Amino acid sequence: MRLVELEPQFLRFTFKEELVQKVPPEFEISTPDGIQAWRSAGSPYSLVAVVVAVNVKVDNLKDAQGMRIRCPKCDRKHQIVLAFAGRNIPPGLGSRDAQGNATQWQVSGQGVQDLTLSPSVDCTVSDPECWHGHIVNGEVTSV
């Protein structure tokens, strides 16, 4: 299978600030009565700035810190995010293993057609039924 068949997207990992609505603590909105009390009070909320992690699509491998692909084994059930080593990924971002540890791959090539990752990609650690394989010169194989 060719990598291009897995709908790859090159990514940069970053943070952005968003405004979110926060219900005042005096309202317990996890119960029907609490929701009714909150609505009766005019549905008050405040806007709070929070920082969230985002994956920004980029057009080429040179600018990418990683990539996202469809799982070659599970097809469209989920996607795999792969962070590239040596690309100045901010702490706390990028790909993670089942224990939450950062994972990174050495990457080479000019783009999707000839991309190579090292070592192999092993998703079976978090799901024994998932994919374990290689991406070499744009070709995706299973172990």
3-state helix, strand, coil in the chain (%, to 5): 15, 45, 40
H or E, element range at 14: strand 9-22
Q: How many angstroms separate the CA atoms of 133 and 74, rounded?
A: 13
Domain residue extents for the chain: 3-13+60-142, 17-51
Q: How many angstroms separate the CA atoms of 61 and 135, rounded?
A: 15
| Predicted structure pTM score | 0.79
Predicted confidence (pLDDT) per residue in 84-119, tens digit: 999 999 998 999 888 888 999 999 999 999 999 999
Handedness of CA 131, 138, 94, 118 (dihedral sign): positive
Q: What is the pLDDT of residue 45?
A: 87
Predicted confidence (pLDDT) per residue in 4-40, tens digit: 999 999 999 999 998 888 888 888 778 888 888 888 8
Under DSSP, the state recorded for 105 is: B
Residue pointed to by tokens 């010169």? 137
Q: Does residue 112 or residue 75 have the better pLDDT?
A: 112
